[in-house]
Amino acid sequence: MDASDLPFIMYNIPQTTGYGLSIDLFKKMADHEKVMGIKNSSLPVMDIERFKAIGGDDFIVYNGPDEQYIAGRLIGADGGIGGTYSVMPELFLKAESLVATGDFANARKIQNDISNVIFALFALRGNMYSGIKNILRLNGLAIGDVRGPMEPIYGEDFTTIVKIKEMIEQAVAKWAWVK
């Protein structure tokens, strides 16, 4: 943090680091003058609530797991940063709108549609992020593929990618008219 004058956002992602941010370490880091927030990708939604309660109203907490976006927002996340937002931004924007207007019944339903897409991406034989990049390619954004050691999609995954893109389009059409 001392190498830059920029504000700092912590990142808690125990699934890939093998280390869950303890409350004691969180408090120490949050006290640093440059720390303005955290992206929390741990699976217990309770972590978001704890980080927000300890950090205070001015401390930014972002939800990380896309499959629990609504839960994260309802328990105190200020927003989210997610890997699947780029292939279905309309769904996440609508989800945010539903939370903001208090339409929690529809928020749960759109989260289900979002999660169906995410679980379809998880089921690819190649890396989920390669699947995302290939959906973006189908949408006209040629941004390349994943780098090693992540595996690109292959074989039947290309057919599945087209089906996932169609799932997204159907969900977007379904939610376009919900106020």
Question: Amino acid identity of 53?
Answer: A
Alpha-carbon dihedral sign for residues 4, 10, 16, 22:
positive
Residue 98 confidence (pLDDT) above 90:
yes
Catalytic position from the list 11, 85, 109, 174: 11
Catalytic residue among 34, 39, 85, 109: 39
pTM of the model: 0.93
The SS3 of residue 164 is: helix
**109 given a catalytic annotation:** no
The 10s digit of each residue's pLDDT in 26-83 is 999 999 999 999 999 999 999 999 999 999 999 999 999 999 999 999 999 999 999 9
Paired strand residues for 79: 62
Mean pLDDT of the chain: 96
73 — alpha (psi -120 to 50), left (phi > 0) or beta? alpha
Catalytic status, residue 27: no
pLDDT at 177: 87
